[in-house]
Structure 1
Amino acid sequence: MRKISLVSFSARKTGNCSLMADYIISKSLNYEVKYISINDLDIHECKNCNYECMSERCIYHNDDAYLYFQSTKEVNRIIWLVPMYCGNPSSLYFKLNERSQDFWMKNESYYNEFLNKLFIIGIGNIDKGNPFRQIFESMYNCSTVSSYSHILILETHKYGLNSIKDSLIANQAVKEQINKFLSL
């Protein structure tokens, strides 16, 4: 059976990322879906080191960051649900991204395959000139994979949502965009 790794970068348990994950799971009938909340993983922040990840092994190698990236080798599709807070992806996104260096230094040949499997849904209000999409696109700069069809930004204000507590997935147009983006 085909496998999906569905990952939320939200610190909230019942927010838009959680509701969207529930929706995606309900539509992924031909997949085995493993839901992961980055907030529940034990990921040590980068600090108090001498850049061992660049030449040896990260001193925090045994936390969940390396294990998470290793687990992506076993799935057919990776879906990241990333909320935007204060004009940027959540701090959990940056924490995992920062700690990914140890994994990619030892698995560089897997990077294009990883990006081919990765689909990012960004959720939040985007101000004019906001670099939210560009932050995700930068992951694709060192690859042969085009970011165009791998990133979907859902701007909550376009759907009449004014509060972070409003449900984005309750909107039929959002469901249709997600279905098309993920081919559900």
Structure 2
Amino acid sequence: MKTCIISFSSRGNGNCAQIGKLIRSLSEEAVLFQFSNFEIHACGKCGYECFADRSKCPYYSDMEYRLLDAVTNSDLTYFILPNYCDYPCANYFVFNERSQCYFQGHPELLEAYEKVSKRAIVVSNTNEDNFKTALAYQSYKEPDVLFLSAKKYGKVSIRGDLLTDENAVRDVTAFVRKPL
């Protein structure tokens, strides 16, 4: 099974990055994308040329299309998200916003994207409902989300050591191995 993993955190070695690496190690055919290694531009500073021709987007060559292609061509995708101020980080919202250009005029891509199973792992101590609402767009139903609270494992999120707790590793592993 082809698996796409996207860590939306900009921290290169934080909890989300470590979770992404763990998922990749548990999956047979997996590719991991980490926002700490690239940037996607937000929509704007243009005349919305993408609505007529997506290749006219001034940011066409950034990672957005490669990420969306990877998701669309996978069997399962994991979104790994940190909690910033009780919501997903800005990288997630930019990814969502820019997807409109990818699908514009290509309903077959949207149909293929919608068929991909999606799961999310959220590193958060608070406000699960905001994440469920934000992630519902990706799953088009009740999102399949594992919430990892650093407090539950006796950790402090900012230290990036969540997976030093064997129970956290066990919970992520069980989530990855559960049937679709």
Instruction: Normalising by structure 1, report the TM-score.
Output: 0.80
- The number of aligned residues is 175
Is residue 103 from structure 1 mapped to residue 99 from structure 2 by the alignment?
A: no
Give 1:136 shift: 1.0
Aligned-residue sequence identity (percent) comes to 27
Structure-1 residue corresponding to 2:142: 147
Cα deviation, 1:34-59, whole Å, max 9, x if unaligned, reads 11112323422211123333343233
TM-align CA RMSD: 2.4
What is the distance in 1 between the residues matched to 2:105 and 2:142?
Answer: 23
Give 1:118 shift: 1.9
Instruction: Normalising by structure 2, report the TM-score.
Output: 0.82
Question: SS at 2:2's partner residue?
Answer: strand
Structure-2 residue corresponding to 1:44: 41
Correspondence 1:6-155 to 2 at 5 A = 6-28=5-27, 31-57=28-54, 58-111=57-110, 113-115=112-114, 116-127=116-127, 131-140=130-139, 143=140, 146-148=141-143, 150-155=144-149
Change (3 A) 1:106 1:152: farther
Aligned with 2:165 (options 166, 171, 182): 171
What is the distance in 2 between the residues matched to 1:6 and 1:12?
Answer: 15
Change (3 A) 1:114 1:178: farther
Question: SS at 1:71's partner residue?
Answer: helix
Q: Which shifted more, 44-53 or 108-117?
A: 108-117
What is the distance in 1 between the residues matched to 2:176 and 2:113?
Answer: 16
Could you tell me which runs of 5 or more consecutive residues in structure 1 were left unpaired when the two chains were aligned: none
Give 1:82 shift: 1.0
In 2, are the aligned partners of 1:79 and 1:121 still within 8 Å (CA)?
Answer: yes
Change (3 A) 1:173 1:11: same
